[in-house]
A = this chain, B = another copy of it.
Amino acid sequence: MRRLVFFVSDSTGITAETLGNALLSQFDDIDFDKVTLPFVSDRALAQAAVRSIDVSCEVDAPRPVVFSTLSNPDLYDIVCTSRALVLDLFKAFLPRLEEELQMGSTHATGRYHGLVNRPNYEGRIEAIDFALSHDDGASVKHYDRADIILVGVSRSGKTPTCIYLAMQFAIRAANYPLTNDDLEKGGLPRFLDRFVRRLYGLTIDPERLRQIRHNRRPDSRYASLAQCRTEVAEVEALFRSRGIPYLDTSHSSVEEIASRILQDTGLQRRSF
């Protein structure tokens, strides 16, 4: 079964996609063909969106589903003239929220993903700069500025997690790879001692690590199962002996890893 889905927004479309995809992920047996129509910010663009929706819809096919975030009710009304079922975030929730807060909403467009709060936004951009310049053991002398320092063996998921923590939550996250050398010496590099309370470990199933490393350097010693097993066993022993909290990343997305880390450490989400 296939079904056509549109995400319609007066801004980036990212909220409409998030809303719609979260809902659609609850339906396993349908293939959804998805189209995003962003920046639908005036009546002419809304009418153009209606035409796009209607022409894409074959005569015998079931009507499309539209997930929309249109803060202007006039634009919502126009999109509702299409053949699609329209499910709108603001229409569904704003009336109850206005009543609860005893206040009318602004109906302004581009509020959420726009540059409304410049200091908050710059905090995010600085966090991204920080993650990039402190990736993979770089700039270790500035670790005093890190909110958190992820440690783990090579390819255990540190880099994308740091970038996600920065992008989504404005957390300044560094990462340091624990090498075979470090592990054979039986401990953390000395300079990490004074940051031990900011350390958070990532670990991974050795078989999964072998696959990831094999894709990067096929048939290397680095990618051998024996090497992966040894490194993982040593790094987990190190985490336990030093009381470093840690997480197995084998079956988790960056979103899940990042959220678990924040929950475990009590670091506050800062972005919005």
Residues of A that sit less than 8 Å from B by CB: 3, 11-15, 17-19, 21-23, 25-30, 34, 36, 38-39, 65, 69, 71, 85, 87, 89-90, 92-94, 96-97, 100-101, 103, 105-108, 110-116, 121, 125, 128-129, 132, 135, 159-160, 163-164, 167-168, 251-256, 258-260, 263, 269, 272
Contacts and interface: CB of A to CB of B under 8 A. Distances in A.
Nearest to A96: B87
A28 to B, nearest CB: 6
Copies of this subunit: 2
A92 B105 CA distance: 20
A106 B22 contact: no
Given A15-B19, A93-B87, A97-B87, A251 B25 contact: no
Contacts of A164: 167
Give the 7 A-B CB pairs with smallest separation, nearest first. Answer: A26-B105, A25-B111, A12-B259, A113-B255, A25-B112, A22-B112, A15-B22
B113 A26 contact: no
Contacts of A263: 38-39
Given A106-B27, A259-B14, A92 B90 contact: no
A89 B28 contact: no
B115 A253 contact: yes
